[in-house]
Amino acid sequence: MDAIERIYQEQSRRVLATLIRLLGDFVLAEEAMQEAFTAALHQWPGEGVPDNPAAWLIRIGQRRGIDQIRRKQTARQHAHLLEQPDDTQETLDEQSIEDDQLRLLFTCCHPSLSPDARIALTLREMCGLTTEQVARALLQKPATLAQRIVRAKRKIRQDRIPYEVPEARALPERLPGVLRVIYLVFNEGYSRSDGEVIVDVSLSAEAIRLAESLVGQLPEGEVFGLLSLMLLQDSRRYARQDEHGDLVTLDEQNRTLWDGDNIRSGLVWLEQALARTPAGPYTLQASIAATHAQAGVAEDTDWARIVRLYEALYRQQPSPVIALNRAVATAMRDTPADGLRLLDELASEKAIHTYHFFHAARADLYRRNGNVEQARSAYERALALSAQGPEQRFLQRRLDELTGQS
Partner 1 sequence: MKYVALVYYQESIINAMSEQEWHDLNQECVAGVERLTNQGHFLAGQALQPTDTATTVQVRDDEMLITDGPFAETKEQLAGFYMLDARDLNEALQLASRIPPARFGSIEVRAVRELPPRD
Q: Which residues bind partner 1 (CB under 8 A)?
A: 27, 30-31, 34-35, 38, 41, 124, 130-133, 142-143, 145-146, 149-150
Distance CA 240, CA 247 (A): 6
Residue (34 or 377) nearer to partner 1, CB: 34
What distance in Å separates the CA atoms of residue 108 and residue 121, rounded to the nearest whole number? 6
CB of 360 to partner 1, least distance (A): 39
- Closer residue to partner 1 in complex, CB, 142/195: 142
Q: Contact, 163 vs 20, CB < 8 A? A: yes
DSSP-assigned states of every residue in 210-253: HHHHHHHH---HHHHHHHHHHHHHHTTTTTSB-TTS-B--GGGS
Is the bond preceding residue 142 a cis peptide, omega within 30 degrees? no
Minimum distance, C-beta of residue 149 to partner 1, in the bound complex (Å): 5
Phi, psi (5° rounding) for residue 247?
A: -70, 135
**CB 33, min distance to partner 1, A:** 10
* CB 391 to partner 1: min, Å: 32
Report the C-alpha gap between 43 and 3 in whole angstroms.
13
Shortest Å distance, C-beta 245 to partner 1: 28
The Cα–Cα gap between 9 and 6 comes to 5
| Minimum gap (Å) between residue 129 Cβ and partner 1 | 8
131 or 202: CB nearest partner 1: 131
Q: CB of 303 within 8 A of CB of 332?
A: yes
- The angle that helices 203-217 and 171-192 make with each other, rounded to 10 degrees, is 160
DSSP run (H or E) holding 278: none
d(CA 265, CA 263): 6
Taking the least distance from each CB to partner 1, the nearer of 130 and 316 is 130
Residue (146 or 402) nearer to partner 1, CB: 146
Nearer to partner 1, 5 or 373 (CB): 5
Contact by Cβ (8 Å): 45, 1: yes
Q: CA-to-CA distance for 198 and 192, rounded, in angstroms?
A: 9
The values of phi and psi at residue 187, to 5°, are: -70, -30
Least Cβ distance, residue 200 to partner 1 (angstroms): 13
C-beta closer to partner 1: residue 36 or 182:
36
Count the neighbouring beta carbons within 10 Å of the beta carbon of residue 352. Answer: 18
- Of the candidates 401, 208, 387, 181, the one whose C-alpha atom is nearest the C-alpha of residue 286 is 208
Give the residue with the Cβ less far from partner 1, 152 or 231: 152
Q: How far is the CB of 132 from partner 1 (least distance, A)?
A: 6
